[in-house]
Structure 1
Amino acid sequence: MSSVSGLFKDLTSVKKARNGRLASWDQRGKNQDYWEIPAGESITLGEVEGPGCITHIWMTSSCRRVKAPSILDPVLNASAAPVMEIAPPLGVIWDDYDPYYYRKVLIKMTWDDQENPSVYVPFGDFFCIGNCYPGNFSSLPFNVSLKPEEAGRYGAPCSVSCYFPMPFNKKAKIEIINENELPFILYFNIDYEMYKEPLDEETAYFHACWHRENPCKGWGPELQVNSPEVNNVTNYKGENNYVLLDVKGKGHYVGCNLTVKHFQGSWWGEGNDMFFIDGEEYPSLNGTGTEDYFNHAWGMQRNAYPFFGTIVHEGDTDGFQVSYRFHITDPVRFENSLKVTIEHGHANHLSDDWSSTAYWYQVLPTTMKMEMPPVEDRLPVVPVLPERKLEKPELTEEMKAAIESYEKRWEVYKPARDEQFRIKEAKARRESKLNTEFAKKLRDEYDK
């Protein structure tokens, strides 16, 4: 046995494994290296036979509505890079981002022969994109990268990565569920390893779930945070705490991301984290404040570190904060059950909008039946501008002709563009099957 230690000690040992990849690469050998996932449809990115382990996931996505006839040919442009369709500068094309698609699309992962999925989370929230508002950050298990000109926008396209290892003994199945009324563009690479020998019976499998309370049930949202009236209320058992995770089984909790939209205008923190391990009546792990749980203090700072940090700061937005905390070196272990909670304001006096993704590992079977609220209950709370009342001047004959020409061109352009969407959607369905077939072929060759 090697005596080498350290975070990257596995790199010093040669192991018996074969690499594989599920990807959206154009299997026709062309350069349309993305899938167009149809509206209201679920697409399997691939199924992989075990034993194995997913080691890395990279994705980038977009979702947009065609609003007007482009001067670009809809058939020729369909074969160009989609960036040609996305960028609207200079009025060449006018596509409108769906600002909330990160919550309308779900990612689902199922291990082995489980009836229940082990991962079932809105696409954006899984990758720490809170309220559909991406922010650049780099942690050990997750990264988000977006261009400067895309920053500060709901629904901005970006790249996302996940490095949590995801073992499976018999099978891994990864699905994207598009509950939007628009197609969903997805590029992806899902890297995995195959092993000769079955996984140990005590192997802990990766899990993730999403939760939202909008609003949290606060008993005194009109009372100022840190006022003596609030601070002298007691909360020993965590009644009405926000619940990040409530799970039965054997395993360990490895962290979360948390999005808070605050409405009082003071400070949304001061709530203690409380961990109830194996059915405890009183929490054995009791914190000192929400910002303290995220390893910050005196409020939240604008930083992002390997294990904790801020992704989106409340001072840079319309009043919401996205934070993360990963228990990589300090997982919270449980033998029978675990309940992870945080007070929303001291003793739960605030009525803010909280949403979170919890990540944990546990031995199968997955007994939690994950449920997802409908799309309308997942959308973020955002400011709404007053409706504009427009008054047009009297139109000249040239103006009338211009509008008529534009409308006629739209009548021709829209069905042609829609047809290209349908062609790309058929390609995604076809390559979904090809991905699983190729993974099976790779497995069979490795097992010889």
Structure 2
Amino acid sequence: MSPLRCLLACAALALAGSASAQSLYQYKPQKTGWLSPENRNGEPGRGALENHGAKGHAFDSIAAGGVLELGRIDGEGVIRRVWMTVDDRSPRMLRALRLQMFWDGADTPAVDVPLGDFFGVALEAPHRFENALFASPEGRSFIATVPMPFRRGARVVLRNEGGVPLNMVFYDIDFTRETVPDDALYFHASWRRENPTKLGQDMRLMPRVTGRGRFLGTSVAVLGNPAYQDTWGGEGEVKVFLDGDTDHPTLAGTGSEDYLGSGWGLGPYVQRYQGAPIADKKTNHWLFYRLHVPDPIMFERECEVRLQQIGGGPRKQVMALKKAGVPLQPVTLDPGGREHFIKLLEGGKIDPAAANAPDGWLNYYRQDDIAATAYYYLDSSGQAAGTTLAPVAERVAGTSTVKP
């Protein structure tokens, strides 16, 4: 870098840093509130009323089938941070607990998801991680810092659909009372599971939602099908259908690990906007996320996000699995290099099972158990069509009851 370019870059960084620091000491005409068991509605002067102010109501309990309103806010503002922990952090309980958020008096929740999956925790006991919007600092608590604006009010509810009591739930929901911009969108989160996925069909990470909005990202939990042995299950491409796309998307990636910023398989790692807190070849458990913060995905009318269900492995191994009756469909064969790449679905190319077929990497359609949480903003305060949460039995099937 030339001395002049270096000087300009350093000056830009200094200006950005000073602007960021300056915002910390500038006064803003906004009030701060905390929803917690000690002040459920965040009212002025109404915190710590019990036990003469000495930690009289630090947690709540929820009976089996019970509902706990974590709090409500009247008026205009933005939820800035949600922190929570519970005494039963087994994968089954975290899937059975149902977190709901309602904006501006809507009858249906804009957020309606399993508690653990919402915070990016699934499959196994909570693990330590932190990204730009979610965290579990020591694997014992859950944090979200996604800004969630509302104009007339907000209500947060936790439902225990686990069949056993939840003895302890601690939480605080931090918000600011402030004027919300006219172009502010409402935060939404939806969850769906396919167990198993359908052979040859994409998994919908986010069902098609209509309106003006922004796809913020996704957290995906995969229970790999052991029938495919040690072949790689992450060859599927992420596709984003925008504003009238039908058969083909506007945005298309090159593979699951590529979408996460990695390549050539997937190991465990955690970064601000992408990561895989769980990538375990022995258990075939995979948990990963991608947050579109620096690379926004906006839509004017509609959006749908899909993940192809494609795996890959050496040709001989994959064709031996197929011969043994494992459900799969060959997709492409790569003996090496673009000029030799074979698109098996276009027909008339080659039979990958033939004795004279070239060896190479064979991609194939497969079936796994996949659950996905989608995060997005919409111009509608109510629940998006087609995003109703699955019954608890479907959510918890196959999950562990072991508490950490």
> What TM-score results when the alignment is normalised by the length of structure 1?
0.66
1:248 aligns with 2:210: yes
Whole-angstrom CA distance in 2 between matches of 1:106 and 1:4: 44
* 1:5 to partner: Cα distance: 4.9
> Which one of 1, 10, 21 corresponds to residue 34 of structure 2?
21
Q: In the alignment, is residue 171 of structure 1 matched against residue 149 of structure 2?
A: no
TM superposition shift of 1:331: 1.6
Q: Deviations over 1:311-338 (max 9, x none)?
A: 11223x6221000111111121000000
- Quick one: distance in 2 between partners of 1:242 and 1:13? 46
More strand by share: 2
In structure 2, the residue matched to 1:351 is: 367
1:374 counterpart residue number: 391
Alpha-carbon separation, structure 2, partners of 1:126 and 1:361: 15
Task: Report the Cα distance in structure 2 between the residues aligned to 1:241 and 1:325, rounded to whole angstroms.
Answer: 18
User: Contact conserved, 1:42 with 1:177, CA < 8 A, in 2?
Assistant: yes
Of 278, 281, 288, the match for 2:243: 278
Q: What is the SS of the residue equivalent to 1:313?
A: strand
Paired residue type of 2:171: F
Name the amino acid aligned to 1:168: F
Within the alignment, does 1:206 sit opposite 2:197 as a pair? Answer: no
CA RMSD of aligned residues (A): 2.3
Amino acid in the other structure paired with 1:188: Y
User: Is the contact between residue 266 and residue 279 of structure 2 (CA under 8 Å) also seen in structure 1?
Assistant: yes
Out of 254, 260, 282, the position equivalent to 1:294 is 260
Q: Provide the secondary structure at the position in 2 that maps to 1:103.
A: helix
Residue 353 of structure 1: how far off its partner (Å): 0.4
8 Å Cα contact 2:190-2:389 kept in structure 1: no
* Structure 2 counterpart of 1:101: 93
Which of these residues, 120, 124, 131, is aligned with residue 123 of structure 2? 131
SS in 1 for 2:204: strand
- Matches of 2:263 and 2:397 in 1, distance apart? 27
Unaligned runs of 5+ in 1: 64-96, 148-157, 220-239, 385-448
Are 1:248 and 1:367, in contact at CA under 8 Å, matched by a contact in 2? no
Deviation at 1:98, TM superposition (A): 5.2
Partner of 1:336: 301
Cα distance in 1 for partners of 2:49, 2:284 equals: 44
- The separation in 1 between residues aligned to 2:123 and 2:255, in whole angstroms, is 23
The answer on whether the counterparts of 2:216 and 2:297 sit within 8 Å (CA) in structure 1 is yes
- Superposition map of 1:391-410 within 5 A: none
**In the alignment, is residue 364 of structure 1 matched against residue 364 of structure 2?**
no
2:344 is aligned to: none
Helix, strand or coil at the partner of 2:120: coil
Change (3 A) 1:302 1:98: closer
Looking at structure 2, the residues matched to 8 and 361 of structure 1 have their Cα atoms a distance apart, in angstroms, of 25
The question of 1:268 aligning with 2:249 is answered: no
Q: Kindly state the Cα deviation for residue 27 of structure 1 after the two structures are TM-superposed.
A: 4.2
CA deviation string 1:334-367 (max 9, x = no partner): 0000011110116671110000111011212435
Q: Give, in whole Å, the separation in 2 of the partners of 1:192 and 1:4.
A: 29
Q: 1:202–1:144: structure 2 CA closer, same or farther, 3 Å change rule?
A: same
d(CA) in 2 for partners of 1:381, 1:8: 47
Q: State the alpha-carbon separation in 2 of the partners of residues 8 and 328 from structure 1.
A: 18
- Do 2:111 and 2:383's aligned partners in 1 also have CA atoms closer than 8 Å? no
Measured in 2, the distance between the counterparts of 1:128 and 1:166 equals 17
Q: 1:311 aligns with which of 261, 271, 277?
A: 277
Whether the aligned pair in 1 keeps the contact of 2:104 and 2:381 (CA below 8 Å) is no
Confirm or deny: 8 A CA contact 1:131 1:379 kept in the other structure: no
TM-score normalised to the size of structure 2? 0.73
Distance 1:210 1:35, change over 3 A: same
Uncovered stretches (5+) of structure 2, i.e. residues with no partner: 1-13, 39-47, 312-330, 332-363
CA distance in 1, matches of 2:266, 2:397: 21
Structure 1 residues 278 and 288, CA gap change in structure 2 (3 angstroms): same
Distance 1:98 1:251, change over 3 A: closer
One-letter code of the match for 2:392? Answer: V
Seq. identity, %: 30
